[in-house]
Structure 1
């Protein structure tokens, strides 16, 4: 299950339990809509409560990243999992966004907020 929050210039996604293809499609629709009308956005992807993801989600993630290389400014991934960290770095090959992995939500939000304020990374 996912919960998506949107504010101007930012999309926040929290994943709980199993991350399914249906969840990913919901994420794709929100980001596609937001990027179309607002331009590139910042993304906070909180995967700390994710229990598992299906193989089709992993494939869709790569396909989505390749199709939308310019839709993001910064991507902050919150996780404790080394596997998710590795997966995030793989996605980084296809997007032109600045992507970082965090274990602390406050640090992730502060990093994203720096971009909004026009501060250097």
Structure 2
């Protein structure tokens, strides 16, 4: 029997109205993965009026999405669009850089791709309050 590891792990830190989300995507994401993670993000953000969110996405082990999961990802982004201030995508594949550029079209905040996690974190914390 062969097992395929996949899913999203999430870290959520809150500082008053500011949130820092760290997400690690592994394998090929499924609709079921989003059924688990979406309520966690929705719940955390619903507790504060007008939250401002910075996000670090580690995609170094991401292999892609099932079609329905890609739709779930887009819906989640659009639902919280105005709450995202900066999204840093840390990856190691050229298609991830292209995906970041396309995702930036749908987001009101800034979206940027990095191939170095320290550069991503520096950018996220630049110009903080």
Higher helix share: 1
Q: Which residue of 2 aligns with 1:70?
A: 82
Deviation at 1:70, TM superposition (A): 0.5
RMSD between superposed Cα atoms in Å: 1.7
Q: TM-score, normalised by structure 2?
A: 0.79
Q: Which residue of 1 aligns with 2:25?
A: 15
Q: Which residue of 1 aligns with 2:43?
A: 33
Structure 2 contact 103–111 (Cα < 8 Å) conserved: no
Deviation at 1:53, TM superposition (A): 1.9
Identify the match of residue 61 of structure 2 among 49, 74, 77. Answer: 49
Gapped regions of structure 2 (runs ≥ 5)? 1-6
Structure 1 contact 24–57 (Cα < 8 Å) conserved: yes
Gapped regions of structure 1 (runs ≥ 5)? none
Whole-Å separation in 1 of the counterparts to 2:45 and 2:127 = 17
Deviation at 1:92, TM superposition (A): 1.5
Deviation at 1:109, TM superposition (A): 1.0
Deviation at 1:108, TM superposition (A): 0.7
Deviation at 1:75, TM superposition (A): 0.3
Structure number with bigger Rg = 2
Deviations 1:82-120 (A, max 9, x none): 22222222222221111110111111111112243x3xx
Identify the match of residue 126 of structure 2 among 111, 114, 118. Answer: 114
